[in-house]
């Protein structure tokens, strides 16, 4: 399991996180329309905002997992930098990403991981997100190693909050807002 997780994490970092470090999405440009359903992406382990919206409309098939801190999840202003507003995706389960490791940074045994993530290990597919996609990529690797059908929303809260923001230019802003809880626009 550790080798599979290591390989999955390395691939994810190389393909998603490293290229994303070069230029953070501004969220100010209009996102193109996308009729894709979850898992129709070029990279079958990533989700885009339209995939998340589709998943939210199909809660019997999909769980949304927020791995940010409790303060970020509750929408505490100032808890995240680089966001356009504070809050969470409606109905998301909050399990902080670092619960999967011990004090030395080692991955916990499988039985402990299954207990920690039991709320989303119910047979549904999972979309995981954080603030920018880095912490959620770790959790993607953990859940993937447990055999879960999981996608990483690599735009995460930065993209979601941009789409919900009055300053953003997302064509379906009202839909995004309807699936947003504890929303406060960043000032």
**Domain residue extents for the chain:** 2-13+36-185
Q: Which of 55, 94, 41 is nearest to 72 (CA)?
A: 94
71 pLDDT above the threshold of 80: yes
Confidence of residue 153 (pLDDT cuts 50, 70, 90): very high
pLDDT in tens, 7-48: 454 444 444 444 443 333 333 233 334 444 554 544 689 999
185 pLDDT above the threshold of 80: yes
Catalytic residue among 63, 130, 148, 151: 130
Q: Tell me which of 34-48, 105-119, 132-146 is least confident.
A: 34-48
Q: Verify whether residue 21 is a known catalytic residue.
A: no
Averaged pLDDT score across all residues of the chain: 84
Q: Let me know: does 93 contact 112? Beta carbons within 8 Å.
A: no
Q: Return d(Cα 162, Cα 14) in angstroms, integer.
A: 25
Residue 44: what pLDDT? 80
98 pLDDT above the threshold of 90: yes
Q: Return d(Cα 113, Cα 186) in angstroms, integer.
A: 34
Q: Tell me which of 41-55, 115-129, 172-186 is least confident.
A: 41-55
Q: Return d(Cα 157, Cα 163) in angstroms, integer.
A: 10
CATH code for the domain defined by 2-13+36-185: 3.40.250.10
Q: Return d(Cα 12, Cα 103) in angstroms, integer.
A: 24
Q: What is the mean pLDDT of residues 102-125?
A: 97
Q: Let me know: does 5 contact 142? Beta carbons within 8 Å.
A: yes
């Amino acid at each position: 399991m550790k080798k599979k997780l290591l390989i999955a994490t390395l691939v994810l970092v190389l393909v998603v996180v490293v290229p994303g470090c070069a230029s953070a999405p501004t969220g100010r440009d209009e996102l193109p329309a996308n009729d894709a359903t979850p898992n129709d992406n070029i990279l079958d382990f990533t989700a885009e905002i339209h995939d998340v919206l589709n998943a939210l409309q199909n809660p019997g098939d999909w769980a949304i997992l927020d791995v940010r801190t409790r303060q970020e999840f509750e929408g505490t202003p100032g808890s995240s930098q680089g966001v356009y507003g504070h809050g969470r995706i409606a109905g998301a389960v909050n399990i902080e990403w670092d619960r999967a490791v011990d004090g030395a940074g080692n991955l916990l045994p499988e039985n402990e991981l299954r207990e920690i993530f039991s709320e989303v290990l119910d047979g549904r597919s999972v979309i995981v997100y954080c603030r920018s996609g880095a912490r959620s990529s770790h959790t993607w690797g953990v859940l993937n190693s447990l055999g879960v059908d999981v996608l990483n929303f690599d735009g995460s809260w930065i993209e979601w909050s941009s789409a919900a923001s009055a300053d953003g230019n997302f064509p379906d802003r009202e839909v995004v807002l309807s699936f947003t809880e504890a929303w406060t626009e960043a000032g």
